[in-house]
Chain A
Amino acid sequence: MKNDNRFLEFVKQFKKNRSAILGFFIVAILVIFALFAPLIATHMPIEQELTNRLLPPMWEEGGIATHILGTDDFGRDLFSRIVYGARISIMIGAISVSISLAFGLIMGVFAGYFGGKIDIIIMRLVDIMLSIPAILLAIVIVAILGPSLMNAMIAIGIVGVPTYARIVRASVMSEKNKEYVIASRVNGSNDVRLMFQVILPNCTTPIIVQATMGFASAVLEAAGLSFLGLGAQPPTPEWGAMLADSLQYITTAPWMIFYPGLAIFLTVLGFNLIGDGLMDVLDPKLKEK
Chain B
Amino acid sequence: MKKLLLAVLLLISSVAFAAPQYGGTLVFGRGGDSSTIDPAHATDGESFYASTAVYDNLVQFKYGTTEIEPALATSWDVSADGLEYIFHLRKGVKFHKTNYFKQDVELSADDVVFSLKRQFDPANPYNKVGGAYEYWSAMDMDNIVKDVVAVDKYTVKITLKKKEAPFIANMAMDFASIVSKAFADELLKKGKAEDLNRLAIGTGPFKLDKWIKDDRMIFSANEEYWDGKPYVKKLIFKVIPNNSVRAAELKTGAIHIMDFPNPEEVAELEANPKIKLVRQEGLNVGYLALNTEKKPFDDVRVRQAVNYAINKAEIVKAIYAGLGKVAKNPIPPTMWSYNDEVVDYDYNPEKAKALLKEAGLENGFETDLWAMPVPRPYNPNGRKVAEAMQADLAKVGIKAKIVSYDWSTYLNKTKMGEHQMCLLGWTGDNGDPDNFLYTLLSKAAAVKPAQNFAMWKDDEFTSLVEKAKVTTDVAQRTELYKKAQVVFKKEAPWVTIANSIVVAPMLAEINGFKLDPVGKRRFHKVWIAK
Chain A residues within 8 Å of B, Cβ to Cβ: 48, 50, 53-54, 73-74, 146-147, 233-235, 247-252
Q: B268: CB under 8 A from chain A?
A: yes
Q: Which residues of B, 348-405, contact A by the 8 Å Cβ criterion?
A: 373, 383-384, 387-388, 391, 404-405
Query: By the criterion CB–CB under 8 Å, are B406 and A252 in contact?
Result: no
Query: By the criterion CB–CB under 8 Å, are A233 and B404 in contact?
Result: yes
The 7 A-B residue pairs whose C-beta atoms are closest, nearest first, are A50-B318, A251-B244, A250-B244, A248-B244, A251-B248, A248-B243, A248-B262
Query: By the criterion CB–CB under 8 Å, are A146 and B268 in contact?
Result: no
Q: How far is the CA of A146 from the CA of B413 in the complex (A)?
A: 14
Q: B78: CB under 8 A from chain A?
A: no
Q: How far is the CA of A184 from the CA of B262 in the complex (A)?
A: 70
Contact for A146 among B245, B318, B387, B409, CB less than 8 A: B409
Query: By the criterion CB–CB under 8 Å, are A146 and B244 in contact?
Result: no
Query: By the criterion CB–CB under 8 Å, are B264 and A247 in contact?
Result: no
Query: By the criterion CB–CB under 8 Å, are B383 and A147 in contact?
Result: no
Contact for A251 among B247, B387, B404, CB less than 8 A: B247
Query: By the criterion CB–CB under 8 Å, are B242 and A48 in contact?
Result: no
Q: Known interface pairs A146-B405, A252-B244. Does A234 touch B383 (Cβ–Cβ under 8 Å)? A: yes
A20 to chain B, nearest CB (A): 39
Q: B270: CB under 8 A from chain A?
A: no
Contacts of B391 in A (CB 8 A): 48
Q: How far is the CA of A231 from the CA of B213 in the complex (A)?
A: 27
Q: B186: CB under 8 A from chain A?
A: no
Q: Known interface pairs A48-B387, A146-B406, A233-B404. Does A252 touch B242 (Cβ–Cβ under 8 Å)? A: no
Q: How far is the CA of A50 from the CA of B384 in the complex (A)?
A: 11
Contact for B245 among A53, A233, A251, CB less than 8 A: A251
Contacts of B245 in A (CB 8 A): 250-251
A76 to chain B, nearest CB (A): 10
Contacts of A73 in B (CB 8 A): 264
Q: Known interface pairs A50-B318, A146-B409, A247-B242. Does A252 touch B265 (Cβ–Cβ under 8 Å)? A: yes
Contacts of B384 in A (CB 8 A): 74
Chain B 401-418 interface 0/1 with A at a Cβ cutoff of 8 Å (1 = within):
000111001000000000
Contacts of A251 in B (CB 8 A): 244-245, 247-248, 265
Query: By the criterion CB–CB under 8 Å, are B264 and A252 in contact?
Result: yes
A67 to chain B, nearest CB (A): 17
Given contacts A48-B388, A146-B409, 4 further A-B contacts (CB under 8 A): A48-B387, A147-B373, A235-B383, A251-B247
Contacts of A50 in B (CB 8 A): 314, 318
B347 to chain A, nearest CB (A): 15
Query: By the criterion CB–CB under 8 Å, are A147 and B248 in contact?
Result: no
Q: How far is the CA of A250 from the CA of B241 in the complex (A)?
A: 13
Query: By the criterion CB–CB under 8 Å, are A147 and B387 in contact?
Result: no
Q: Which residues of B, 243-274, contact A by the 8 Å Cβ criterion?
A: 243-245, 247-248, 262, 264-265, 268
Q: How far is the CA of A63 from the CA of B235 in the complex (A)?
A: 43
Contacts of A53 in B (CB 8 A): 264, 318
A90 to chain B, nearest CB (A): 25
Q: What are 14 A-B contacts with C-beta separation under 8 Å?
A: A48-B391, A50-B314, A73-B264, A74-B387, A146-B405, A146-B406, A146-B409, A233-B404, A235-B387, A247-B242, A248-B243, A248-B244, A250-B245, A252-B262
B335 to chain A, nearest CB (A): 30
Contacts of A233 in B (CB 8 A): 383, 404
A81 to chain B, nearest CB (A): 14
Chain B residues within 8 Å of A, Cβ to Cβ: 242-245, 247-248, 262, 264-265, 268, 314, 318, 373, 383-384, 387-388, 391, 404-406, 409
Q: Known interface pairs A250-B244, A252-B268. Does A147 touch B406 (Cβ–Cβ under 8 Å)? A: yes
A235 to chain B, nearest CB (A): 6
**Which residue of chain B has the shortest Cβ distance to A50 in the bound complex?**
B318
A54 to chain B, nearest CB (A): 7
Q: How far is the CA of A249 from the CA of B248 in the complex (A)?
A: 11
A251 to chain B, nearest CB (A): 5
Contact for B242 among A74, A147, A235, A248, CB less than 8 A: A248
**Which residue of chain B has the shortest Cβ distance to A253 in the bound complex?**
B264
Contacts of B314 in A (CB 8 A): 50
Q: How far is the CA of A41 from the CA of B186 in the complex (A)?
A: 68
B375 to chain A, nearest CB (A): 10
Q: How far is the CA of A147 from the CA of B383 in the complex (A)?
A: 14
B7 to chain A, nearest CB (A): 36
**Which residue of chain A has the shortest Cβ distance to B251 in the bound complex?**
A251
Q: How far is the CA of A50 from the CA of B264 in the complex (A)?
A: 13
Q: How far is the CA of A234 from the CA of B264 in the complex (A)?
A: 19
Contact for B264 among A54, A147, A235, A250, CB less than 8 A: A54
Contacts of A252 in B (CB 8 A): 244, 262, 264-265, 268
**Which residue of chain B has the shortest Cβ distance to A146 in the bound complex?**
B406
A138 to chain B, nearest CB (A): 16
Q: How far is the CA of A64 from the CA of B335 in the complex (A)?
A: 46
Q: How far is the CA of A259 from the CA of B262 in the complex (A)?
A: 22
Contacts of A248 in B (CB 8 A): 242-244, 262
Q: How far is the CA of A131 from the CA of B243 in the complex (A)?
A: 36
Q: How far is the CA of A147 from the CA of B410 in the complex (A)?
A: 12
Q: How far is the CA of A6 from the CA of B119 in the complex (A)?
A: 78
Q: How far is the CA of A56 from the CA of B391 in the complex (A)?
A: 25
**Which residue of chain A has the shortest Cβ distance to B247 in the bound complex?**
A251
Q: How far is the CA of A227 from the CA of B388 in the complex (A)?
A: 23
A233 to chain B, nearest CB (A): 6
A16 to chain B, nearest CB (A): 47
Contacts of A235 in B (CB 8 A): 383, 387
Query: By the criterion CB–CB under 8 Å, are A250 and B242 in contact?
Result: yes
A68 to chain B, nearest CB (A): 22
B79 to chain A, nearest CB (A): 52
Contacts of B373 in A (CB 8 A): 147
Contacts of A250 in B (CB 8 A): 242, 244-245
B176 to chain A, nearest CB (A): 34
**Which residue of chain B has the shortest Cβ distance to A230 in the bound complex?**
B406
Q: How far is the CA of A73 from the CA of B387 in the complex (A)?
A: 13
Q: How far is the CA of A116 from the CA of B384 in the complex (A)?
A: 56
Contacts of A54 in B (CB 8 A): 264
B183 to chain A, nearest CB (A): 37
Q: How far is the CA of A251 from the CA of B242 in the complex (A)?
A: 11
Contacts of B265 in A (CB 8 A): 251-252
B363 to chain A, nearest CB (A): 25
B387 to chain A, nearest CB (A): 6
Contacts of A48 in B (CB 8 A): 387-388, 391
Q: How far is the CA of A48 from the CA of B262 in the complex (A)?
A: 20
B175 to chain A, nearest CB (A): 29
**Which residue of chain B has the shortest Cβ distance to A54 in the bound complex?**
B264
**Which residue of chain A has the shortest Cβ distance to B404 in the bound complex?**
A233
B146 to chain A, nearest CB (A): 42
**Which residue of chain A has the shortest Cβ distance to B248 in the bound complex?**
A251
Query: By the criterion CB–CB under 8 Å, are A249 and B405 in contact?
Result: no
Contacts of B406 in A (CB 8 A): 146-147
Contacts of A249 in B (CB 8 A): 244, 262, 264
Q: Known interface pairs A146-B405, A233-B404. Does A247 touch B387 (Cβ–Cβ under 8 Å)? A: no
Q: How far is the CA of A262 from the CA of B404 in the complex (A)?
A: 29
Contacts of B242 in A (CB 8 A): 247-248, 250
B240 to chain A, nearest CB (A): 12
B109 to chain A, nearest CB (A): 46
Q: How far is the CA of A74 from the CA of B318 in the complex (A)?
A: 9
Q: How far is the CA of A54 from the CA of B248 in the complex (A)?
A: 18
**Which residue of chain B has the shortest Cβ distance to A229 in the bound complex?**
B373
